[in-house]
Chains A and B, each alone.
Chain A
Amino acid sequence: MRTFHAAFVRCLAWALPATALSCAAVVATSFATHSIGPWLHAAAFLPIAASCFAATAFWPLFATDGDAREWVRRATRRPFHGLHHAALGSLCASALCMLALAIAAAPFVPTPRAHHAAQPIGRPILDDAQTQLSFEVGAACKELRLRPIAMLPHGELAPARVDVAADGTRITNEPISFDGTRQLVVLPLDGRRVQRIELRLVRGTIPLLFDQHAAVVVSPDTESSLLGCAMALLVMLVPACAALALAMATGAIAALPVQQALVLTALLVQTAGQAGPADAALTLCARGHWLPTEGLLPSISASLLVTAGFVLAAMLTKKAAQP
């Protein structure tokens, strides 16, 4: 517990200035550019990286080149010799910094709303053979977002013209025209509950394919911006977990500069490299999506599974390194 406390304080001491800098940068750039855009990603990365660096520099068993390494190894219990407490301290410090950043960023994030993908009934294609397509909704709708895939035209190119109806009532005065793939059409609705959306191909030669996210319904209910922002920023702890677990696994074989390079690389791959849930969570938050409805759980679980693998490897390497 003392290791946890000491690591927490040390990591907080490193991460707090980074958090202050990040908060200032987010506020300034959001004011200047009228959008939180990619700045939230950079602002979240800085304190996380600082905290992970602090943990690896603080606890001697994260690297092979510390003077106190052998002494600490003898004085602490197996299997991790305090590494897990140090990592946990770092994660708690990071969590605290992320919450502070959430408070600073929340006023600049669009109000989150739940986005639900509407499920097509039957073959999800509008073409000459199937001119009508229905979607099961069963929820209140503020707007309907259509973004189908336009396939190769049958015969001479003529944009697909589509009529849209909600529960049998037309919601478009004139048919909507689709002539490009993933062309976005936003249909404002009055927030009433809709059971079914019906699309009817009026004319045109371009077949439209409505895949999983081609028809999205936006809820009229707004959620808390602060909560949405906090959830997105706390997802940043997932890459930090994996990076620290990797550092634990390689602690017996690598010196501190190598360890820190590994941690940085692991964080970059999982954030800027999009190999994990963090980048998607922050992007969705910046676009005004409500995270619990976005299906990020599989991605988070996969990252945590990788983390568990690294922790297992850490146990094995520590065991092998016993004299």
Chain B
Amino acid sequence: MRRILLAALLCAWVAGAIAFGSMDHALRAPRDLVRPVALPFLWRSLADAAERSDPAEAYQCAQRLLAATPGWADGHAVFAFRYALLGGATVLDPDARAIAAKDRLLVALAVMEDARASCGPKEAALLADMAWLVELAVRNEPGIAPLLDPDPAILADRLLAEAESHGGGRMVREKRLYDVPRLCAALLRAGDRRSALALLDEAAARCAQSGIEELAGEWRATLLATRTLLSGEGPANPTLRDQQKADPRLEALAPFLR
């Protein structure tokens, strides 16, 4: 009798939790109860996999650990970075290595994307980390840039734009504005000159509105000068072109500055 009563109580609790909340609400209490018991084993299996198995298994163990600690945005970033950037254990030829690196990057981004909902106020930080991951992966293995669609610069900018819209702070805004030349180069490579010029206009306007002295002054002027050169408006200005080509921040745009 007591067992039936207990079972009925449990069913009522689960039904109530689902009715008034969601399945997540229903599972939260049992998950919270199990977590302290499970965490040491999850950490140990992660350490064991990292030391004795391959990076893919280590990342799977990390995901199980992260599933037990929802909201840990830094954890998601650390394990995804480790897998995407250092997971290429097998020695391969350059093409196969680039494909493997791209696959790892896409898996890491998918896992981070999946984790966004659980990160709450840290979602913007996670999105900014995703943008960093794209850039670092391309820097680490340049062969993956042509394999990615959209272009890595466009992908990173989209992620930063989303981070900005989710309350990303000044760092995200600044980074996005300083990354404009690379995004502009990606658009030019794709043959979209009009969008590239529009992007420079918008970036200059955003620099002016940013309220950050360095952005509103020197960087805005640099972007406007770049726009002038790219659009071909006005007389040729070789001095300005050489000056722009020498600027390391505009390195990605150098082939287009004529």
Q: A-side interface residues toward B, CB under 8 Å?
A: 33, 35, 37-38, 172-173, 176, 180, 182-188, 213, 272, 274, 283, 287
A185 touches B51 (CB 8 A): no
The prevalent SS among residues of B at the interface is: helix
Query: Nearest Cβ distance between residue B49 and chain A, in whole angstroms?
Result: 9
B55 touches A188 (CB 8 A): no
Given contacts A38-B45, A38-B64, A272-B41, contact A287 B91 (CB under 8 A): no
A185 to B90, CA, bound (A): 6
A172 touches B45 (CB 8 A): no
Given contacts A35-B60, A38-B64, contact A186 B91 (CB under 8 A): yes
Q: Specify the chain B residue showing the minimal Cβ separation from A143.
A: B90
B41 touches A172 (CB 8 A): no
A187 to B93, CA, bound (A): 11
CB-CB nearest 5 A-B residue pairs: A186-B90, A184-B89, A186-B89, A187-B91, A182-B51
Query: Nearest Cβ distance between residue B206 and chain A, in whole angstroms?
Result: 40
A184 to B86, CA, bound (A): 10
Query: Nearest Cβ distance between residue A166 and chain B, in whole angstroms?
Result: 13
Chain B 78-95 interface mask (CB, 8 Å, partner A; 1/0): 000000001001111100
Q: Specify the chain A residue showing the minimal Cβ separation from B55.
A: A184
B91 touches A188 (CB 8 A): yes
B45 touches A185 (CB 8 A): no
Q: B-side interface residues toward A, CB under 8 Å?
A: 41, 44-45, 48, 50-55, 57, 60-61, 64, 86, 89-93
A176 to B57, CA, bound (A): 22
What are the residues of chain A within 8 A of B92 when measuring CB–CB?
A: 188
Query: Nearest Cβ distance between residue B35 and chain A, in whole angstroms?
Result: 15
A213 to B44, CA, bound (A): 19
B60 touches A186 (CB 8 A): no
Q: Specify the chain A residue showing the minimal Cβ separation from B63.
A: A33
A185 touches B89 (CB 8 A): yes
Given contacts A184-B55, A287-B53, contact A37 B90 (CB under 8 A): no
Query: Nearest Cβ distance between residue A26 and chain B, in whole angstroms?
Result: 16
B45 touches A188 (CB 8 A): no
Known: A184-B54, A186-B54, A186-B90. 6 other contacts (CB 8 A): A33-B60, A35-B60, A186-B91, A188-B90, A188-B91, A287-B57
Query: Nearest Cβ distance between residue B157 and chain A, in whole angstroms?
Result: 31
A186 to B90, CA, bound (A): 4
What are the residues of chain A within 8 A of B57 when measuring CB–CB?
A: 35, 287
What are the residues of chain B within 8 A of A38 when measuring CB–CB?
A: 45, 64
A186 to B100, CA, bound (A): 14
Q: Specify the chain B residue showing the minimal Cβ separation from A171.
A: B91
A183 to B91, CA, bound (A): 13
Query: Nearest Cβ distance between residue A263 and chain B, in whole angstroms?
Result: 19
What are the residues of chain B within 8 A of A272 when measuring CB–CB?
A: 41
Query: Nearest Cβ distance between residue B55 and chain A, in whole angstroms?
Result: 7
What are the residues of chain B within 8 A of A180 when measuring CB–CB?
A: 86
Q: Specify the chain A residue showing the minimal Cβ separation from B53.
A: A287
A283 touches B91 (CB 8 A): no
Which residue among A38, A184, A186 has the maximum number of chain B CB atoms within 10 Å of its CB?
A184
A185 touches B91 (CB 8 A): yes
Query: Nearest Cβ distance between residue B108 and chain A, in whole angstroms?
Result: 16
A188 to B54, CA, bound (A): 14
Q: List 17 A-B contacts (CB under 8 A).
A: A35-B57, A37-B60, A38-B45, A38-B64, A172-B91, A176-B91, A180-B86, A182-B50, A182-B51, A184-B54, A184-B89, A185-B89, A185-B91, A186-B90, A188-B91, A188-B92, A287-B53
A199 to B243, CA, bound (A): 49
What are the residues of chain B within 8 A of A213 when measuring CB–CB?
A: 52
Q: Specify the chain A residue showing the minimal Cβ separation from B58.
A: A184
Q: Specify the chain A residue showing the minimal Cβ separation from B92.
A: A188
A265 to B57, CA, bound (A): 28
What are the residues of chain A within 8 A of B89 when measuring CB–CB?
A: 184-186
Q: Specify the chain A residue showing the minimal Cβ separation from B40.
A: A272
A176 to B92, CA, bound (A): 11
Query: Nearest Cβ distance between residue A212 and chain B, in whole angstroms?
Result: 12
Query: Nearest Cβ distance between residue B61 and chain A, in whole angstroms?
Result: 8
Q: Specify the chain B residue showing the minimal Cβ separation from A35.
A: B60
What are the residues of chain B within 8 A of A33 when measuring CB–CB?
A: 60
Q: Specify the chain B residue showing the minimal Cβ separation from A182.
A: B51
Which residue among B48, B50, B52, B64 has the maximum number of chain A CB atoms within 10 Å of its CB?
B52
What are the residues of chain B within 8 A of A173 when measuring CB–CB?
A: 93
What are the residues of chain A within 8 A of B44 when measuring CB–CB?
A: 274
A33 to B111, CA, bound (A): 13
Query: Nearest Cβ distance between residue B36 and chain A, in whole angstroms?
Result: 14
What are the residues of chain B within 8 A of A37 when measuring CB–CB?
A: 60-61, 64
What are the residues of chain A within 8 A of B61 when measuring CB–CB?
A: 37
What are the residues of chain B within 8 A of A176 when measuring CB–CB?
A: 91
A182 to B86, CA, bound (A): 12
What are the residues of chain A within 8 A of B51 when measuring CB–CB?
A: 182
Query: Nearest Cβ distance between residue B219 and chain A, in whole angstroms?
Result: 34
Query: Nearest Cβ distance between residue B53 and chain A, in whole angstroms?
Result: 6
A173 to B93, CA, bound (A): 9
Query: Nearest Cβ distance between residue A84 and chain B, in whole angstroms?
Result: 33
A184 to B91, CA, bound (A): 10
Query: Nearest Cβ distance between residue B30 and chain A, in whole angstroms?
Result: 16
A37 to B57, CA, bound (A): 8
